[in-house]
A and B are shown apart, each in its own frame.
Chain A
Amino acid sequence: MHRDLDPARTGGRVKPGDTFELKVTPDRYLTVRYAGASGDFNPIHTIDEAAAQAGLPGVIQHGMRTMAALGLLFSPYLDRGVITRFETRFTGLVCVGDVLTVGGHATGGERTEQGNAYLFDVYARNQDGQDVATGKITFLVYGSN
């Protein structure tokens, strides 16, 4: 699924419309681990009673963890480039037991002084087909222009 993005295969070129996808499966303890790692201890992410008091169906995943999952699409290419810009809208709740598919497609690119910057639309979609987050990512491939 990363094939279309791989500069080694494409000669550094990504075509608009190229798509890619990755499955991530949050488990019961993921939000606890993320709370500790990130320092975000809002109890709606770790304690069911606190989530219920806030009117939520149960603990929900941190939005920032969902955003990080979207970023995983690009992690294998860190030796060739970096995400330079990333905007995300959180459009739905991620509950324990949900199965998320993160994916996206290339929308275009531009040459910059540092290299070619590729633009992507990305999404995190749950098992019901609902987008829980959508975003735009700019990935800069070093020295590719």
Chain B
Amino acid sequence: MPVNTEAIGKTYDPSTYAVGREKIREFAAAVGETNPLHFDVEAARGAGYADVVAPPMFAVVYGARAVGPALFDPDVGIDFAMMVHAGQEFVWGPLVVAGDEITTTASVKDISERGGMNFYVFASVSQNQRGETVCTGTWTQLVRGGA
């Protein structure tokens, strides 16, 4: 059965994430970051930032809250047991710091079938409280045995 592509173009409600200082520290530690700008408020302020700086891949934290509902959308129809993350792209703007509020909008960019596997591509756009785009993401999920 060919993959259902009707959900292409579907956009989901924006989701706002409040960036906390301890969450940045927790995430930075979990991925092995050691730069003091992620942990030490004084070091961050000394470098001209309002608070500790989120590592680039923190985009997963504020972005996933918006992309999650798209992944779980029955209209998209992903078989989670067979899902593998195939690819990821991020483009970053101004750095995210603790205290920021990041609003992310997700959409279904593409659904396709290749080599007996289904590919689901989601797009995300994240903006801070000043309306600056801090990150755009392209999330590609592969579902094995989908076709």
Residue ranges of A at the interface with B (Cβ–Cβ < 8 Å): 24, 30, 33-34, 36-40, 42, 53-55, 62-65, 67-69, 71-72, 75-76, 78-79, 82-90
Contact = CB atoms under 8 A, between A and B. Distances in A.
A90 B35 CA distance: 26
A90 B86 contact: yes
A39 B61 contact: yes
Contact of A69 (B31, B80, B81, B144): B31
Contact of A64 (B37, B60, B80, B84): B60
A71 B89 contact: no
A115 to B, nearest CB: 14
Contact of A65 (B31, B61, B64, B86): B31
Nearest to B31: A68
A78 B37 contact: yes
Interface in B21-54: 23, 26-27, 29-35, 37, 47, 53
Given A34-B31, A75-B55, A88-B87, A82 B95 contact: yes
A68 B55 contact: yes
A89 B87 contact: yes
Given A38-B61, A86-B56, A64 B92 contact: no
A83 B92 contact: yes
Interface of B: 23, 26-27, 29-35, 37, 47, 53, 55-57, 60-61, 64-65, 80-82, 84-92, 95, 138, 144
B51 to A, nearest CB: 14
A69 B80 CA distance: 25
A124 B144 CA distance: 23
A55 B143 CA distance: 13
Contacts of B64: 38-40
A24 B90 CA distance: 22
Nearest to A64: B60
Nearest to A137: B56
A89 B60 contact: no
A127 to B, nearest CB: 18
Contacts of A79: 37, 47
Contacts of A42: 80
Nearest to A24: B32
B88 A88 contact: yes
A143 B115 CA distance: 46
Given A37-B26, A85-B92, A68 B32 contact: yes
Given A34-B31, A68-B31, A88-B89, 8 more contacts: A24-B32, A53-B81, A64-B60, A67-B88, A69-B31, A72-B32, A78-B35, A90-B88
A78 to B, nearest CB: 5
A72 B35 CA distance: 10
